[in-house]
């Protein structure tokens, strides 16, 4: 087994003596959370949850201390599960990483084999982390919409919070899957970026003036929403009959004030997207799509920023302030 006696990790603490603190530490493999697989980490990524956890501005971790990083990809160096052998390339997103067990911001990680996914043909380790939880969430949203009857012929799908990681990847994934993608964003200066990803129409959030009646003129066949609050409430009034809204986030608010009318008159479905604990069978199907027919064509554009462990702190604050664009990959190996 080719593993170092000690290695570097971005570790998060919160205790009575020192409060919240996070930074690079040395640790050993035997100090990691238990699991059947030890991997030498090649890449991770930065998600909104990672920024909340790393800065202490959100209650993400359920125990301390833990290594940050809800995504990880790398090479197996030891396994007690015969399904995985030394040298295998694997990935893991969510599944308790940086919540109840050590995450991917470390040179080594130990994983539960039930959540480890063999890297599908068609993806490199870096590409898998350019996607990460954000790409998996976007694809899972579309997967659930399609399973509930959404078809390209029904009309365009609008994506809110479109310049973020989930939003950017959703635009690209929708386009690859044969849907017409539209974008809603507060960053009008990024319209060209979104059009480059495949968006056929971009709408400034400040230009949304749909009315307040329970049902308004229908504009879109469905939506992938990362925002919540008033924007999500407005969407329920303007989706065409039997369309779906996949709810992925709450960037603006956790509240939802609406009426039953869109549901009982237009047959609207609101689908919750909780990616972290997705059943393995569905997880494998979604990753196969991401490596195949739904693979985004613009991953290099969406995930153009790359940092090392030492650069994490400089990414968190801009992300929480709404200043990030697309995805940030963390190169570790």
Range of the domain at 32: 7-119+303-331
Residue 286 domain-assigned?
A: no
Residue 128 domain-assigned?
A: no
Per-residue pLDDT, 1:
54
In this structure, the answer to whether residues 152 and 82 fall within a common structural domain is no
Per-residue pLDDT, 217:
95
Per-residue pLDDT, 152:
98
Residue 126 domain-assigned?
A: no
In this structure, the answer to whether residues 259 and 137 fall within a common structural domain is yes
Per-residue pLDDT, 149:
98
How many C-beta neighbours within 10 Å does residue 82 have? 8
Enter the tokens of residue 285: 């199907």
Q: What are the residue ranges of helices labelled H in 46-187?
A: 48-55, 125-147, 165-176
In this structure, the answer to whether residues 140 and 263 fall within a common structural domain is yes
What is the pLDDT tens value at each position of the chain, 333 positions in all? 566 679 999 999 998 788 899 999 999 999 999 999 999 999 999 999 999 999 999 889 999 999 999 999 999 999 999 999 999 999 999 999 999 999 999 999 999 999 999 999 999 999 999 999 999 999 999 999 999 999 999 999 999 999 999 999 999 999 999 999 999 999 999 999 999 999 999 999 988 888 889 999 999 999 999 999 999 999 999 999 999 999 999 888 899 999 999 999 999 999 999 998 899 999 999 999 999 999 999 999 999 999 999 999 999 999 998 878 999 999 997
Ramachandran area for residue 309 (φ above 0: left; ψ -120 to 50: alpha; else beta): alpha
* Counted domains in the chain: 2
In this structure, the answer to whether residues 149 and 77 fall within a common structural domain is no
In sequence order, what DSSP letters do the residues of 2-65 get, joined into one string? ---SSEEEEEEEEETTTEEEEEEEEE-GGGSPP-SEEEEEEEEEE-HHHHHHHHTSS---SSSS
CB 185 within 8 A of CB 325: no
In this structure, the answer to whether residues 137 and 89 fall within a common structural domain is no
Per-residue pLDDT, 40:
98
In this structure, the answer to whether residues 230 and 152 fall within a common structural domain is yes
Residue 114 domain-assigned?
A: yes
Per-residue pLDDT, 17:
81
In this structure, the answer to whether residues 67 and 165 fall within a common structural domain is no
Q: What is the rounded CA–CA span in Å between residue 165 and residue 48?
A: 9
In this structure, the answer to whether residues 142 and 262 fall within a common structural domain is yes
CATH of the domain at 194: 3.40.50.720
CATH of the domain at 75: 3.90.180.10
């Amino acid at each position: 087994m080719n593993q170092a006696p000690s290695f570097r990790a971005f570790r998060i603490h919160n205790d009575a003596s020192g409060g919240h603190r996070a930074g690079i530490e040395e640790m050993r493999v035997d100090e990691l959370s238990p699991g059947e697989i030890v991997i030498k980490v090649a890449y991770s990524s930065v998600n909104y949850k990672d920024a909340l956890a790393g800065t202490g501005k959100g209650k993400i971790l359920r125990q301390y201390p833990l290594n940050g990083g809800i995504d990880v990809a790398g090479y197996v160096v030891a396994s007690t599960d015969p399904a995985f052998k030394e040298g295998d390339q694997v990935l893991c997103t969510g599944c308790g990483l940086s919540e109840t067990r050590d995450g991917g911001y470390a040179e080594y990680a130990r994983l539960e084999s039930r959540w480890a996914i063999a890297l599908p043909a068609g993806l490199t380790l870096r590409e898998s982390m350019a996607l990460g939880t954000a790409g998996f969430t976007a694809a899972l949203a579309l997967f659930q919409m399609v399973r509930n009857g959404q078809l390209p012929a029904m009309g365009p799908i609008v994506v809110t919070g479109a310049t973020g990681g989930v939003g950017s990847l959703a635009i690209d994934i929708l386009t690859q899957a044969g849907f017409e993608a539209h974008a809603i964003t507060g960053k009008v200066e990024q319209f060209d970026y979104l059009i480059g990803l495949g968006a056929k129409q971009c709408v400034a959030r400040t230009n949304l003036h749909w009315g307040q009646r329970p049902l308004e003129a229908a504009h879109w066949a469905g939506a992938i929403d990362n925002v919540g609050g008033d924007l999500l409430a407005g969407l329920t009034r303007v989706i065409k009959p039997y369309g779906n809204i996949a709810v992925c986030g709450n960037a603006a608010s956790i509240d939802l004030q609406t009426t039953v009318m869109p549901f009982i008159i237009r047959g609207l479905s609101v689908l919750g997207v909780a990616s972290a604990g997705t059943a393995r069978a569905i997880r494998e199907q979604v990753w196969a799509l991401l490596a195949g027919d739904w693979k985004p064509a613009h991953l290099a554009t969406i995930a153009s920023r790359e940092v090392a462990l030492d650069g994490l702190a400089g990414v968190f604050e801009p992300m929480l302030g709404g200043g990030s664009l697309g995805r940030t990959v963390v190169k570790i190996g």
